């Protein structure tokens, strides 16, 4: 790991960027940071063993950032982690800022993003400033305003209810955007609550943001649009697998590890011990969210020896996944039985 130690100094914001083979995009990402109206920030880039010239591009920006009095850190991991969560955790450890802002290496920030978010956090003394609307940068370079959440759009900054039950219901109903880039966090809040990213290949944002939502006393939702997400056709969810079995194996592993991470987090929270229905609802929601991705990938084109697969791949600590699978299969069997009964009635008529 190179340049791993941050020289402690007063800085308002730390922008944490995980990077892997981002040679084509990291330059634009950094240019958007150089254009920020707020200059009291640092950039922490954690390179997860890129095999292209990503690091070379970053190093070419060192002087430009230094000229504006902005520290640009490049940390190069010795071994690829295979997940954006681990580089982000390293970035949080290195960060010196009062606030931590997450940015993906192929995305951009609007010119006033850091100034707006910092002002909101300071004025409201928020633990977290959450944005749920963003710009989509399409492949034709057109910007499209996007919002996928079910809670009504805001016209002014609003503190979310402190009723954890209501927060969780809103979360299950997709009331919040759960990408980490929508969470502008006070660094001491993350440290005090030991909130980190799980080492998952995908959906790590979902678990991180859920922990933030559960533990933030002052969770401020704002209507500001500060993030520019780059639309790409080569994302992980679009990845082509060599065989249906490979797709099934990959996403089932994501499903299993994610369920375990959620279960471990909720085991540390008194609320979920007292409200097991909420615990089940969270696990069930995550199960179906991931299932919507991996089910079409294998699409039932191959028949798997499912019992043998479970015995080979999973163990006692994977009980959450096995329970969800059993429940889903059981429900499907009941539905199929009902369909057969209805069909039999129809045939008798």
Please state the domain extents for the chain.
13-230, 239-348
- In the chain, at which residue ranges do the beta strands (DSSP E only) sit? 13-19, 41-47, 72-76, 99-102, 108-109, 128-131, 133-137, 143-147, 158-159, 183-186, 219-222, 227-230
- Other beta carbons within 10 Å of 337: 10
Q: Who wins on pLDDT, 227 or 142?
A: 227
Query: What is the band of 164 on the pLDDT scale with cuts at 50, 70, 90?
Result: very high
Calpha distance 250→255 (Å, rounded): 9
Q: What is the pLDDT of residue 334?
A: 47
pLDDT tops 60 at residue 155: yes
Mean pLDDT of 150-157: 92
Q: What is the pLDDT of residue 287?
A: 85
pLDDT tops 50 at residue 131: yes
Model confidence pLDDT, tens digit, residues 299-324: 444 444 445 555 555 565 666 766 66
| DSSP string for 281-311 | HHHHHHHHHHHHHHHHHHTT-S---HHHHHH
Q: What is the pLDDT of residue 133?
A: 94
Q: What is the pLDDT of residue 149?
A: 85
Query: What is the band of 296 on the pLDDT scale with cuts at 50, 70, 90?
Result: low
Model confidence pLDDT, tens digit, residues 28-57: 999 999 999 999 999 999 999 999 999 999
Query: What is the band of 143 on the pLDDT scale with cuts at 50, 70, 90?
Result: very high
pLDDT tops 80 at residue 280: yes
Angular region, 93: left φ>0, alpha ψ -120 to 50, beta rest: alpha
Q: Which percentage of the chain shows pLDDT scores above 70? A: 77
- The two three-digit tokens of residue 208, written as one number: 């991180």
Domain 13-230: which CATH number of 3.30.110.30, 3.40.50.720, 3.90.550.10, 3.20.20.140: 3.90.550.10
Straight-line distance from the first to the last Cα atom of the chain, in angstroms, rounded to the nearest whole number: 74
Q: What is the pLDDT of residue 298?
A: 47
Mind spelling out the 3-state secondary structure of 205-234? Answer: HHHHHHHHHHHCCCEEEECCCCEEEECCCC
């Amino acid at each position: 790991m190179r340049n791993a130690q941050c020289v402690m100094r007063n800085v308002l914001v730390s922008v944490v960027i995980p990077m892997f083979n981002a040679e084509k995009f990291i330059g634009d990402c950094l240019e958007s940071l150089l254009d920020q109206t707020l200059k009291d920030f640092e950039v922490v880039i954690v390179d997860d063993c890129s095999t292209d010239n990503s690091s070379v591009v970053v190093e070419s920006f060192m002087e430009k950032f230094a000229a504006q009095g902005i520290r640009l850190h490049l940390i190069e991991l010795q071994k690829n982690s295979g997940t954006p969560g681990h580089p982000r955790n390293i970035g949080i450890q290195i960060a010196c800022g009062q606030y931590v802002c997450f940015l993906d290496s192929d995305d951009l920030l609007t010119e006033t993003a850091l100034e707006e978010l910092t002002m909101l956090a300071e004025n409201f003394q928020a633990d977290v400033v959450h944005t749920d609307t963003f710009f989509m940068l399409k492949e034709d370079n057109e910007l499209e305003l996007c919002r996928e959440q079910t809670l009504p759009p805001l016209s002014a900054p609003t503190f979310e209810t402190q009723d954890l039950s209501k927060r969780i219901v809103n979360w299950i109903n997709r009331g919040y955007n759960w990408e980490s880039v929508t969470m502008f966090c006070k660094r001491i809040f993350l440290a005090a609550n030991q909130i980190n990213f799980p080492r998952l290949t995908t959906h790590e944002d979902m678990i991180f943001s859920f922990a933030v939502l559960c533990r933030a006393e002052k969770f401020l939702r704002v209507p500001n649009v500060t993030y520019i997400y780059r639309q790409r056709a080569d994302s992980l969810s679009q990845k082509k697998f060599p065989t249906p079995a490979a797709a099934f194996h990959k996403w089932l592993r994501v499903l299993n590890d994610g369920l375990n991470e959620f279960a471990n987090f909720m085991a540390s929270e008194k609320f979920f011990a007292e409200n097991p229905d909420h615990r089940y609802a969270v696990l069930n929601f995550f199960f179906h969210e991931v299932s919507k991705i991996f089910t079409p990938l294998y699409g039932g084109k191959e028949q798997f020896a499912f019992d043998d697969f479970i015995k080979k791949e999973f163990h006692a600590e994977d009980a959450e996944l096995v329970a969800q699978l059993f429940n889903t299969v059981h429900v499907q069997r009941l539905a199929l039985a009902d369909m057969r009964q209805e069909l039999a009635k129809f045939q008798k008529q």
